[in-house]
Amino acid sequence: MVPINTERLRPPPPHGLGQGRWSGFLAGTTPAELQPYQESPFQVQGDRPGSRVAELEAAIADRRAEYDASGRIYDEILLKRAEHVARNRDRLRRDVRKAIEKEAAEMRRHVDGLERTRQELLDLRRTEVWVGLFPSELLANERNTQAIAGARKAVQGPLLPGIDSGIIAHALFEFLRADVGFCEDVATLDQYAALTGKTPAQLTGREARWAGDGKVDIVGPSFPATWAGSHEEAETNRQVAAYTEATRQRLEEDGWG
């Protein structure tokens, strides 16, 4: 058996305790009591584990095969779904439009109900104040309740930054009713044009229209007729594209973007 160096295994003295006093304290420690400290806790017993490279490579190959198969299935499902939508587009649009109209009507009812309930709540509060103060002369004046939250900046400021004036409740409810119309028909200008079979300019009234008597256009520019494949046609197409892009930018500024 390898002899144990008990001095090496002895723990260092605690802070503030001299080496001499600490050595005296440990003087009675026997080698048998220090034996457990000689065995390394990191000692590994048994056979060395074999390599799992082949196993991991096979698992990776399986996962890749599953991923590729999932991609093919997704493509097939997407193609079938596209074919289904194309075959039943008109019916599907009618069904969705019915659901949209139903939800829009429900939203309008909620807005109407909210406006009505707000007024009822104000009337009840007015009655409560009257009951609590009558016949006090304090009832001669009433708080203005037309503005949302009393137009208090502490409430409105964090919620609507940049709006300094109070928001009239009636205007807010009308604004919400207008939002219903926006929600039920929202789309980009190009999407809406494609859905309705019109051009963006036709939708906004900014398309070139001719007076019918050979005079200037009522709205927008006129583009001359050209021969197909000619340089004039290429120049006209460039002008049309530039006009369309400029119109699109103006429409985006108007909220169609």
The 10s digit of each residue's pLDDT in 66-109 is 888 888 888 888 888 888 888 898 999 999 999 999 999 999 99
Which long-range contacts (C-beta less than 8 Å, at least 24 apart) are formed by 203-207? 204/247, 204/251, 204/254, 204/256, 206/247, 206/250, 206/251
Q: What burial class does residue 189 get, using C-beta atoms within 10 Å of its C-beta: 0-12 exposed, 13-18 middle, 19+ buried? A: buried
For the segment 189-195, the average pLDDT, to the nearest whole number, is 84
User: What single letter denotes the amino acid at residue 205?
Assistant: G
Residue 204: C-alpha distances to residues 94, 124, 210 (Å): 25, 47, 16
* pTM > 0.85: yes or no: no
**Residue 71 to residue 64: CA distance in whole angstroms:** 11
Report domain extents, the chain. 58-87, 89-180, 199-257
Highest-confidence segment of 43-52, 54-63, 124-133, 209-218: 124-133
Which residue from 185, 184, 186 is spatially nearest to 106, judged by alpha carbons? Answer: 184
Per-residue pLDDT of 136-175, as tens digits, reads 999 999 998 999 999 888 988 898 888 888 999 999 999 9
